[in-house]
Structure 1
Amino acid sequence: ECVPFCSIECQNGTCVGPDTCQCLPGYQQSHTEANSCEPSCDSKFVDIANGDCIAPNVLQCSEGFQLEYSPLSGRTFCRYPCDAECIHGLCLSDGSCQCWDGFSPSDGADNVCEPIGKNCTQSL
Protein backbone atom coordinates (compact mmCIF):
# COMPACT_ATOMS: atom_id res chain seq x y z
CA GLU A 1 0.00 0.00 0.00
CA CYS A 2 1.36 3.42 -0.97
CA VAL A 3 1.26 6.12 1.68
CA PRO A 4 1.74 9.81 0.78
CA PHE A 5 4.96 11.34 2.11
CA CYS A 6 5.43 14.95 3.14
CA SER A 7 9.02 15.95 3.92
CA ILE A 8 7.66 18.65 6.24
CA GLU A 9 4.83 17.49 8.52
CA CYS A 10 1.45 19.02 7.68
CA GLN A 11 0.29 21.54 10.30
CA ASN A 12 -3.52 21.51 10.74
CA GLY A 13 -3.85 19.29 7.70
CA THR A 14 -3.32 15.83 6.25
CA CYS A 15 -0.62 14.68 3.84
CA VAL A 16 -2.49 13.58 0.67
CA GLY A 17 0.35 13.41 -1.85
CA PRO A 18 4.07 14.05 -2.21
CA ASP A 19 4.62 17.24 -0.15
CA THR A 20 0.92 18.13 -0.55
CA CYS A 21 -1.28 18.93 2.44
CA GLN A 22 -5.04 19.06 2.52
CA CYS A 23 -6.21 21.48 5.20
CA LEU A 24 -8.64 20.41 7.90
CA PRO A 25 -12.10 22.04 7.95
CA GLY A 26 -11.82 25.61 9.25
CA TYR A 27 -8.24 26.00 7.97
CA GLN A 28 -6.74 27.30 4.72
CA GLN A 29 -3.36 26.92 3.04
CA SER A 30 -0.79 29.31 4.53
CA HIS A 31 0.55 31.91 2.10
CA THR A 32 3.91 32.02 3.88
CA GLU A 33 4.71 28.48 5.09
CA ALA A 34 4.90 25.25 3.11
CA ASN A 35 2.72 22.38 4.34
CA SER A 36 1.03 24.63 6.86
CA CYS A 37 -2.67 25.41 7.18
CA GLU A 38 -3.75 28.50 9.09
CA PRO A 39 -7.11 29.20 10.77
CA SER A 40 -9.85 30.61 8.57
CA CYS A 41 -12.49 33.10 9.74
CA ASP A 42 -15.67 33.27 7.65
CA SER A 43 -16.59 36.91 6.98
CA LYS A 44 -20.28 36.04 7.50
CA PHE A 45 -19.49 35.42 11.18
CA VAL A 46 -16.25 37.28 11.94
CA ASP A 47 -14.92 40.72 10.95
CA ILE A 48 -11.14 40.45 11.24
CA ALA A 49 -10.50 44.21 11.01
CA ASN A 50 -8.50 45.23 14.11
CA GLY A 51 -7.78 41.62 15.04
CA ASP A 52 -6.38 38.25 14.01
CA CYS A 53 -8.03 34.92 13.26
CA ILE A 54 -6.38 32.57 15.80
CA ALA A 55 -8.59 29.48 15.33
CA PRO A 56 -11.47 28.66 12.98
CA ASN A 57 -13.92 31.57 13.36
CA VAL A 58 -12.16 32.73 16.55
CA LEU A 59 -10.99 36.34 16.70
CA GLN A 60 -8.32 37.88 18.93
CA CYS A 61 -8.41 41.67 19.04
CA SER A 62 -5.40 43.90 18.53
CA GLU A 63 -4.17 45.84 21.55
CA GLY A 64 -6.56 48.63 22.50
CA PHE A 65 -9.63 46.96 20.94
CA GLN A 66 -12.42 44.99 22.60
CA LEU A 67 -14.17 41.85 21.35
CA GLU A 68 -17.88 42.38 20.67
CA TYR A 69 -20.75 40.45 19.15
CA SER A 70 -23.49 42.17 17.14
CA PRO A 71 -26.81 40.34 17.37
CA LEU A 72 -28.04 42.49 14.47
CA SER A 73 -25.36 41.30 12.02
CA GLY A 74 -24.57 37.99 13.76
CA ARG A 75 -20.85 38.82 13.56
CA THR A 76 -18.03 39.01 16.08
CA PHE A 77 -15.74 42.04 15.70
CA CYS A 78 -13.15 44.15 17.51
CA ARG A 79 -14.23 47.64 18.47
CA TYR A 80 -12.36 50.63 19.75
CA PRO A 81 -13.66 51.49 23.22
CA CYS A 82 -15.43 54.87 23.21
CA ASP A 83 -15.80 57.16 26.19
CA ALA A 84 -19.56 56.75 25.74
CA GLU A 85 -21.09 53.58 24.32
CA CYS A 86 -22.44 53.86 20.77
CA ILE A 87 -26.13 52.99 20.81
CA HIS A 88 -27.08 51.13 17.56
CA GLY A 89 -23.68 51.75 16.02
CA LEU A 90 -19.95 51.03 16.08
CA CYS A 91 -17.35 53.12 17.82
CA LEU A 92 -14.60 54.18 15.42
CA SER A 93 -10.94 54.70 16.37
CA ASP A 94 -11.45 58.49 16.41
CA GLY A 95 -14.13 58.06 19.13
CA SER A 96 -17.07 58.80 16.82
CA CYS A 97 -20.02 56.48 16.20
CA GLN A 98 -20.81 54.89 12.86
CA CYS A 99 -24.49 53.94 12.75
CA TRP A 100 -25.59 50.45 11.77
CA ASP A 101 -27.54 50.00 8.52
CA GLY A 102 -31.07 51.32 8.97
CA PHE A 103 -30.01 53.85 11.62
CA SER A 104 -28.88 57.48 11.45
CA PRO A 105 -27.21 59.84 13.95
CA SER A 106 -29.51 61.32 16.56
CA ASP A 107 -29.95 65.09 16.61
CA GLY A 108 -29.66 65.12 20.40
CA ALA A 109 -26.66 62.90 21.20
CA ASP A 110 -23.40 62.10 19.41
CA ASN A 111 -23.31 58.50 20.64
CA VAL A 112 -26.90 57.54 19.73
CA CYS A 113 -28.17 56.25 16.38
CA GLU A 114 -31.92 56.14 15.80
CA PRO A 115 -33.94 54.06 13.34
CA ILE A 116 -34.25 55.85 10.00
CA GLY A 117 -37.73 57.33 9.71
CA LYS A 118 -38.32 57.32 13.48
CA ASN A 119 -39.35 60.97 13.49
CA CYS A 120 -41.52 60.84 10.34
CA THR A 121 -44.69 62.88 10.78
CA GLN A 122 -46.36 62.09 7.45
CA SER A 123 -48.48 58.96 7.43
CA LEU A 124 -49.70 56.93 4.47
Structure 2
Amino acid sequence: MLLSRVLLIIIIFECVHFNWGRIVNNNYNNNNLDNNNNQEDLEHKCLREVPTIYLEYDKKYTNITEGSKKYYSKIEVCCDGYKRSKYDWDKCVPDCGECEHGLCLNPDTCECFPNYVKNHEGKCVMKCPVHCENGHCKLDGTCKCNRGYKLDESQTFCKPICNRNNNCEAAYNQYCSAPNTCSCIKGYQVNRHGCEPICERSCGINGTCDRPNTCRCHNGAILKNGICQAECYQKCENGICVTPNRCICFEGFRYDVRTSSCIPKAENLKNFAIEQIDLI
Protein backbone atom coordinates (compact mmCIF):
# COMPACT_ATOMS: atom_id res chain seq x y z
CA MET A 1 0.00 0.00 0.00
CA LEU A 2 2.78 2.41 0.94
CA LEU A 3 4.71 1.53 -2.22
CA SER A 4 1.63 2.28 -4.38
CA ARG A 5 1.27 5.72 -2.80
CA VAL A 6 4.96 6.50 -3.34
CA LEU A 7 4.69 5.50 -7.00
CA LEU A 8 1.56 7.62 -7.43
CA ILE A 9 3.30 10.66 -5.91
CA ILE A 10 6.31 10.17 -8.21
CA ILE A 11 4.05 9.90 -11.28
CA ILE A 12 2.12 13.05 -10.31
CA PHE A 13 5.39 14.97 -9.72
CA GLU A 14 6.81 13.90 -13.10
CA CYS A 15 3.62 14.94 -14.91
CA VAL A 16 3.58 18.35 -13.23
CA HIS A 17 7.29 18.84 -13.92
CA PHE A 18 6.89 17.80 -17.59
CA ASN A 19 3.92 20.09 -18.22
CA TRP A 20 5.56 23.00 -16.42
CA GLY A 21 8.67 22.53 -18.57
CA ARG A 22 6.50 22.60 -21.70
CA ILE A 23 4.77 25.80 -20.55
CA VAL A 24 8.09 27.54 -19.81
CA ASN A 25 9.60 26.33 -23.08
CA ASN A 26 6.57 27.46 -25.10
CA ASN A 27 6.62 30.87 -23.43
CA TYR A 28 10.36 31.17 -24.19
CA ASN A 29 9.83 30.19 -27.83
CA ASN A 30 6.88 32.55 -28.18
CA ASN A 31 8.89 35.42 -26.70
CA ASN A 32 11.77 34.66 -29.06
CA LEU A 33 9.35 34.54 -31.99
CA ASP A 34 7.82 37.87 -30.99
CA ASN A 35 11.29 39.43 -30.65
CA ASN A 36 12.32 38.08 -34.06
CA ASN A 37 9.13 39.39 -35.65
CA ASN A 38 9.63 42.80 -34.04
CA GLN A 39 13.24 42.89 -35.24
CA GLU A 40 12.15 41.86 -38.76
CA ASP A 41 9.48 44.58 -38.79
CA LEU A 42 12.15 47.21 -38.00
CA GLU A 43 14.54 46.03 -40.72
CA HIS A 44 15.17 48.47 -43.56
CA LYS A 45 12.97 51.15 -41.99
CA CYS A 46 14.06 54.73 -41.43
CA LEU A 47 12.52 57.65 -39.59
CA ARG A 48 11.10 60.45 -41.71
CA GLU A 49 9.93 63.81 -40.39
CA VAL A 50 6.82 65.10 -42.15
CA PRO A 51 4.22 67.83 -41.54
CA THR A 52 1.65 66.42 -39.11
CA ILE A 53 -1.14 67.52 -41.44
CA TYR A 54 -0.05 64.75 -43.83
CA LEU A 55 -1.23 62.16 -41.31
CA GLU A 56 -4.78 63.49 -41.47
CA TYR A 57 -5.04 62.21 -45.05
CA ASP A 58 -2.74 59.18 -45.05
CA LYS A 59 -3.80 57.11 -42.03
CA LYS A 60 -1.75 53.95 -42.58
CA TYR A 61 0.97 54.93 -40.10
CA THR A 62 0.83 53.75 -36.49
CA ASN A 63 4.34 54.26 -35.02
CA ILE A 64 4.14 58.05 -34.89
CA THR A 65 6.41 60.11 -32.62
CA GLU A 66 6.78 63.82 -32.00
CA GLY A 67 8.90 65.73 -34.51
CA SER A 68 11.79 68.08 -33.82
CA LYS A 69 9.62 71.10 -34.65
CA LYS A 70 6.07 72.15 -33.92
CA TYR A 71 3.51 70.83 -36.44
CA TYR A 72 5.88 67.97 -37.43
CA SER A 73 5.81 64.24 -36.66
CA LYS A 74 8.19 61.34 -37.24
CA ILE A 75 7.02 58.21 -39.05
CA GLU A 76 8.65 54.98 -40.22
CA VAL A 77 9.27 54.72 -43.97
CA CYS A 78 11.31 52.32 -46.08
CA CYS A 79 14.99 53.26 -46.30
CA ASP A 80 16.61 54.16 -49.62
CA GLY A 81 16.75 51.12 -51.92
CA TYR A 82 13.72 49.49 -50.32
CA LYS A 83 9.97 49.63 -50.96
CA ARG A 84 6.75 48.45 -49.35
CA SER A 85 5.96 44.80 -49.96
CA LYS A 86 2.88 44.35 -52.13
CA TYR A 87 1.91 41.38 -49.94
CA ASP A 88 2.45 43.05 -46.53
CA TRP A 89 2.51 46.86 -46.37
CA ASP A 90 4.26 46.82 -42.98
CA LYS A 91 7.36 45.14 -44.43
CA CYS A 92 10.09 46.78 -46.51
CA VAL A 93 11.71 44.69 -49.26
CA PRO A 94 14.64 45.38 -51.61
CA ASP A 95 13.84 47.36 -54.75
CA CYS A 96 15.41 45.96 -57.93
CA GLY A 97 13.12 47.65 -60.42
CA GLU A 98 12.57 44.85 -62.94
CA CYS A 99 13.56 41.38 -61.70
CA GLU A 100 11.53 38.97 -63.84
CA HIS A 101 12.68 35.31 -63.62
CA GLY A 102 14.84 36.16 -60.64
CA LEU A 103 14.91 36.96 -56.92
CA CYS A 104 15.61 40.47 -55.59
CA LEU A 105 18.05 39.84 -52.73
CA ASN A 106 19.37 43.38 -52.16
CA PRO A 107 18.67 46.80 -53.70
CA ASP A 108 19.45 46.63 -57.44
CA THR A 109 20.73 43.05 -57.01
CA CYS A 110 18.59 40.57 -58.95
CA GLU A 111 19.73 36.93 -58.80
CA CYS A 112 18.42 34.85 -61.69
CA PHE A 113 16.59 31.58 -61.08
CA PRO A 114 18.35 28.29 -62.01
CA ASN A 115 18.61 27.75 -65.80
CA TYR A 116 18.48 31.54 -66.34
CA VAL A 117 21.36 33.93 -67.00
CA LYS A 118 21.69 37.73 -67.18
CA ASN A 119 21.92 39.03 -70.74
CA HIS A 120 23.69 42.16 -72.00
CA GLU A 121 20.78 44.31 -70.73
CA GLY A 122 20.85 42.81 -67.24
CA LYS A 123 17.62 40.82 -67.73
CA CYS A 124 17.27 37.16 -66.71
CA VAL A 125 16.82 35.01 -69.82
CA MET A 126 16.57 31.23 -70.20
CA LYS A 127 19.65 29.37 -71.41
CA CYS A 128 20.28 26.14 -73.29
CA PRO A 129 19.25 23.38 -73.58
CA VAL A 130 15.80 25.05 -73.31
CA HIS A 131 16.32 28.40 -75.03
CA CYS A 132 19.06 30.56 -76.55
CA GLU A 133 18.32 34.29 -76.80
CA ASN A 134 18.96 35.62 -80.32
CA GLY A 135 19.87 32.14 -81.49
CA HIS A 136 18.90 28.48 -81.08
CA CYS A 137 20.09 25.53 -79.00
CA LYS A 138 22.00 22.76 -80.74
CA LEU A 139 21.64 19.06 -79.88
CA ASP A 140 24.82 19.17 -77.78
CA GLY A 141 23.28 21.87 -75.53
CA THR A 142 25.34 24.77 -76.89
CA CYS A 143 24.00 28.00 -78.36
CA LYS A 144 24.25 28.93 -82.07
CA CYS A 145 23.72 32.64 -82.74
CA ASN A 146 21.63 34.31 -85.42
CA ARG A 147 23.26 36.57 -88.00
CA GLY A 148 24.45 39.84 -86.44
CA TYR A 149 24.94 38.27 -83.00
CA LYS A 150 27.80 36.54 -81.18
CA LEU A 151 28.19 34.45 -78.04
CA ASP A 152 28.83 36.37 -74.85
CA GLU A 153 31.78 35.63 -72.58
CA SER A 154 29.80 33.00 -70.63
CA GLN A 155 28.81 31.23 -73.90
CA THR A 156 25.19 31.06 -72.69
CA PHE A 157 23.38 33.68 -74.84
CA CYS A 158 23.91 35.73 -77.98
CA LYS A 159 24.53 39.47 -77.86
CA PRO A 160 24.37 41.91 -80.79
CA ILE A 161 27.43 42.94 -82.80
CA CYS A 162 28.18 46.60 -83.48
CA ASN A 163 30.85 47.35 -86.12
CA ARG A 164 33.67 49.82 -85.67
CA ASN A 165 31.54 52.71 -86.89
CA ASN A 166 29.07 51.90 -84.12
CA ASN A 167 31.46 50.85 -81.37
CA CYS A 168 29.14 51.43 -78.43
CA GLU A 169 31.66 50.23 -75.83
CA ALA A 170 33.87 53.22 -76.71
CA ALA A 171 30.95 55.67 -76.65
CA TYR A 172 30.05 57.32 -73.37
CA ASN A 173 27.15 55.73 -71.42
CA GLN A 174 25.97 53.58 -74.35
CA TYR A 175 25.74 49.88 -75.14
CA CYS A 176 25.10 47.76 -78.23
CA SER A 177 21.35 47.00 -78.00
CA ALA A 178 20.87 45.48 -81.50
CA PRO A 179 23.14 44.77 -84.50
CA ASN A 180 24.91 48.07 -85.32
CA THR A 181 22.56 49.96 -82.99
CA CYS A 182 23.65 51.83 -79.87
CA SER A 183 21.32 52.77 -77.00
CA CYS A 184 21.76 54.72 -73.78
CA ILE A 185 22.33 52.75 -70.59
CA LYS A 186 19.77 52.93 -67.77
CA GLY A 187 19.50 56.41 -66.29
CA TYR A 188 20.59 58.21 -69.48
CA GLN A 189 18.79 59.66 -72.52
CA VAL A 190 19.85 60.60 -76.05
CA ASN A 191 21.06 64.11 -76.82
CA ARG A 192 23.02 65.68 -79.69
CA HIS A 193 26.36 64.50 -78.31
CA GLY A 194 25.38 60.97 -77.27
CA CYS A 195 23.74 60.22 -73.93
CA GLU A 196 23.12 62.56 -71.02
CA PRO A 197 22.09 61.67 -67.44
CA ILE A 198 18.45 61.91 -66.35
CA CYS A 199 17.46 63.68 -63.13
CA GLU A 200 13.80 63.02 -62.34
CA ARG A 201 13.58 66.36 -60.53
CA SER A 202 15.08 69.53 -61.94
CA CYS A 203 18.43 70.47 -60.39
CA GLY A 204 17.31 74.11 -60.32
CA ILE A 205 18.83 77.18 -61.96
CA ASN A 206 22.01 76.76 -59.90
CA GLY A 207 22.79 73.15 -60.77
CA THR A 208 23.31 70.65 -63.57
CA CYS A 209 22.47 66.94 -63.79
CA ASP A 210 25.89 65.32 -63.38
CA ARG A 211 24.84 61.66 -62.99
CA PRO A 212 21.43 59.91 -62.87
CA ASN A 213 19.40 61.68 -60.16
CA THR A 214 22.57 63.44 -58.95
CA CYS A 215 22.94 67.22 -59.24
CA ARG A 216 26.17 69.24 -59.24
CA CYS A 217 25.71 72.70 -57.71
CA HIS A 218 27.43 75.98 -58.57
CA ASN A 219 27.19 79.73 -57.82
CA GLY A 220 27.28 79.08 -54.07
CA ALA A 221 24.17 76.89 -54.09
CA ILE A 222 23.90 73.90 -51.73
CA LEU A 223 22.46 70.45 -52.36
CA LYS A 224 19.28 70.07 -50.33
CA ASN A 225 16.73 67.30 -50.85
CA GLY A 226 18.57 66.38 -54.07
CA ILE A 227 18.18 69.88 -55.59
CA CYS A 228 20.63 72.79 -55.89
CA GLN A 229 19.14 75.77 -54.08
CA ALA A 230 19.94 78.77 -51.95
CA GLU A 231 20.61 78.30 -48.27
CA CYS A 232 17.15 78.71 -46.81
CA TYR A 233 15.68 79.63 -43.45
CA GLN A 234 12.59 77.61 -44.30
CA LYS A 235 12.22 73.84 -44.51
CA CYS A 236 10.75 74.15 -48.04
CA GLU A 237 10.01 70.46 -48.58
CA ASN A 238 8.46 69.72 -51.98
CA GLY A 239 9.76 73.03 -53.27
CA ILE A 240 12.91 74.98 -54.19
CA CYS A 241 14.46 77.74 -52.10
CA VAL A 242 15.45 80.43 -54.63
CA THR A 243 16.55 82.95 -51.98
CA PRO A 244 17.07 82.58 -48.23
CA ASN A 245 13.52 83.85 -47.61
CA ARG A 246 11.64 82.59 -50.66
CA CYS A 247 10.33 79.05 -51.21
CA ILE A 248 8.72 78.16 -54.55
CA CYS A 249 6.51 75.06 -54.35
CA PHE A 250 6.40 72.33 -56.97
CA GLU A 251 3.32 72.00 -59.14
CA GLY A 252 0.40 70.58 -57.17
CA PHE A 253 1.67 71.94 -53.82
CA ARG A 254 0.98 75.08 -51.81
CA TYR A 255 3.05 76.87 -49.18
CA ASP A 256 2.08 76.20 -45.55
CA VAL A 257 3.14 78.96 -43.15
CA ARG A 258 2.98 76.76 -40.01
CA THR A 259 5.47 74.17 -41.30
CA SER A 260 7.37 76.45 -43.75
CA SER A 261 6.98 73.60 -46.27
CA CYS A 262 4.93 72.89 -49.37
CA ILE A 263 1.95 70.61 -48.82
CA PRO A 264 -0.40 69.11 -51.43
CA LYS A 265 -3.25 71.27 -52.67
CA ALA A 266 -6.76 70.26 -51.64
CA GLU A 267 -7.58 68.71 -55.03
CA ASN A 268 -4.55 66.38 -54.72
CA LEU A 269 -5.43 64.98 -51.30
CA LYS A 270 -8.00 62.38 -52.43
CA ASN A 271 -5.38 59.74 -53.26
CA PHE A 272 -2.68 61.18 -51.03
CA ALA A 273 0.20 58.84 -50.08
CA ILE A 274 3.13 60.19 -48.09
CA GLU A 275 5.79 57.85 -49.47
CA GLN A 276 4.82 58.61 -53.06
CA ILE A 277 4.85 62.39 -52.69
CA ASP A 278 7.35 63.09 -49.96
CA LEU A 279 10.40 61.52 -51.60
CA ILE A 280 12.72 64.48 -52.08
Distance of aligned partners of 1:99 and 1:60 in 2 relative to their CA distance in 1, 3 Å threshold: closer
Assess if the C-alpha contact under 8 Å between 2:229 and 2:242 holds in 1.
yes
1:109 aligned residue: none
Count of matched residue pairs: 95
The equivalent position to 2:247 in structure 1, one of 87, 93, 98, is 98
Matches within 5 A, 1:29-48: 29=190, 31-33=191-193, 36-43=194-201, 47-48=202-203
Report the Cα distance in structure 1 between the residues aligned to 2:262 and 2:203, rounded to whole angstroms. 27
Report the Cα distance in structure 1 between the residues aligned to 2:166 and 2:187, rounded to whole angstroms. 21
Distance of aligned partners of 1:17 and 1:96 in 2 relative to their CA distance in 1, 3 Å threshold: same
2:234 aligned residue: 86
Structure 2 residue runs of 5 or longer lacking an equivalent are: 1-146, 149-160, 264-280
Larger radius of gyration: 2
| Structure 1 length-normalised TM | 0.58
User: Which residue type is aligned with residue 9 of structure 1?
Assistant: N
CA RMSD, Structure 1 to Structure 2 (Å): 3.0
> For 1:38, what is the secondary structure of its paired residue?
strand
Report the Cα distance in structure 1 between the residues aligned to 2:175 and 2:261, rounded to whole angstroms. 50
| Structure 2 length-normalised TM | 0.29
2:211 is the alignment partner of 1:64: no
Report the Cα distance in structure 1 between the residues aligned to 2:216 and 2:167, rounded to whole angstroms. 26
Higher helix proportion (structure 1 or 2): 2
> For 1:92, what is the secondary structure of its paired residue?
strand
Distance of aligned partners of 1:99 and 1:48 in 2 relative to their CA distance in 1, 3 Å threshold: closer
- Higher RCO (Cα < 8 Å, 6 or more apart): 1
Show CA shifts across 1:67-94 (max 9, x none): 001xxxxxx2111124xx224465323x
Assess if the C-alpha contact under 8 Å between 2:197 and 2:210 holds in 1.
yes
Identity of aligned residues (%): 26
